[in-house]
Structure 1
Amino acid sequence: MIEVLTKDVLDVSGLVKRYGDLTAVDDVSFHIRAGETYGLLGPNGAGKTTIISMVAGLIPASEGTVRVAGRDMTPSETQAKRIIGLVPQELAIYPDLTGRENLKFFGRLQGLSGKRLTERTNEVLELIGLSDRAGDLTKKYSGGMKRRLNIGIGLLHRPSLLILDEPTVGVDPQSRNSILEAVEKLSVEGMAVLYTTHYMEEAERLCDRIAVIDEGRIQAEGTRDQLITLTGGVDRINLRGGGNMSRAAEALRMLPAVQRVDKDGTGLMLTVSDGPTALAGIVTGAGDAGMSVTSVEIVRPDLESVFLHLTGKALRD
């Protein structure tokens, strides 16, 4: 294993990939530090897999650079590839081998042997929650178990950079949660993780920083809270009830935190700054103005709202 010589484990600058007249990736730049999980969030066809294929040295870039641990990554580069663990969307396991046999086979390909291979295999089985099924043929595994084993194979050689391409696609909710729990442990161990997904909740749960990507371009980048501010950083409070809602609407418009009040047939919809903090005053103000409030709902902006704000379409369009 080569030594990581730079603060950033991965540095991507001005990355472009063209296929004839089609530009699949257009001027993409980002970096990942050790111990950081970085997410590429976007719909299918946004360019996520093409980006990680260039990062892993599987295909050449048309323009731009990828540096892994200070080394330029190209399809012919071998040293930088040694510190990468790539977990593709497609399963790369042998169905007629047990889980343990799969790990040991791939471990040998990664240069592990003897006691070190045995110890690392046991560690990975524990991490991915398959210790009790290690002796079963993988063709008997559920889809989620196969996905977890796929991740384990990428972890065997303790990569400095782990690349996960949509690792929870097509798995049941329980297996999905097990996969996410395993990924959460990786950055704690100091590993840099590049995680692609079109699931907003996964990006919010796992990623320290997120790049919102669409049509091959990064539309915005930052922490979840930084991205949320792009929508204006406001919340919506829905008040349902009866009584004098017109008078309540007028009174609530006077509150400093309230930016807008709209009426519908069953209540009031408020646009506010910091909804949880403003809530008590809003409910009190509505009651004092003659509205009988029967239910309250706070709707906080999320990454779906950010994507809609940036692209004009829903994340899963």
Structure 2
Amino acid sequence: MHLRIGTRGSALALAQTKKVMEQLMRLDAELELEQVVIKTTGDIVRDRALHAMKGVGVFVRELDEALLRGEIDLAVHSMKDIPTIRPEGLITAAVLERESPYDCLITRDGTPLSRLPPGAVIGTSSLRRVAQLRRAHPQLSVIPMRGNITTRLRKLEEGVCDGIMLAEAGLIRMGWSIEREVLPCEHFLPSCNQGVIACVCMQHSDAHELLTRIDHPITHTETELERRVMEVLGGGCLVPMGVLAQSQPEGIRLSAEVLSIDGREHTRREVLIPTTTEREHKLKMAEELAKEIAHAGGARLIELAKEGVEG
């Protein structure tokens, strides 16, 4: 079987695609895998924060279109980039086992977040990270910083900022043993689906059947629960929001929070979902958690955030 695998061209995207290809080859060493690099809007437009761009799925849209046109057979994504509303006919057929879901901080000299002096500058363009940082450490300054991992590390070394915040999973996938501080979920609840690699294809295709064989069921369940919370609350990248489902011996702990852009207000809730619960009931519990957050002030924070970004 010959499979054309669509991917973005960044070093991280290519590393993620390599992981998928390795798993597919372990299934069938006779597979012919062709890597197809596709530039997305998010790759081309680099002078604006993601939340300032029009539309959704700026790192996904062109890959979706290539799938629908039959130009590729599957696409590899960071799952957190995939919008909750998807084109008809496409399916996330597999997710790989989650790596670290956590945020981390890298500073030039290894100084931890708690010891950075007042006025120290942290680079990040994530509304969620900005809000969480302002909540936990309002004495620090934040500047917008987009770009791939290499670009952000270079800006750090050049003295543009004193530290950068990013997803630890990216460093792991690149195989870099850079000194970093993993930030606790108590203060820095990660983005929905952070740390997960996803494979998207056309439903009922040959690729679909093959991809289901590399799917990691535990991670798949966790990502479904997180996405259900996002779907119910809405807002997407326009809203500072963290969602994380973690499988534990006693069940799946699902945590979610919505923050104001300045970090001064937040609404957070969590629930423990029994592992033995049927899938639909798990999703129902995720919906109820989202509704509880909305009713406890989360809906108001979401509207204020959207007004602040769009206005």
TM-score interval (norm. to shorter):
under 0.3
TM-score by length of 2: 0.25
TM-score by length of 1: 0.25
Bigger CA radius of gyration: 1
Higher strand share: 1
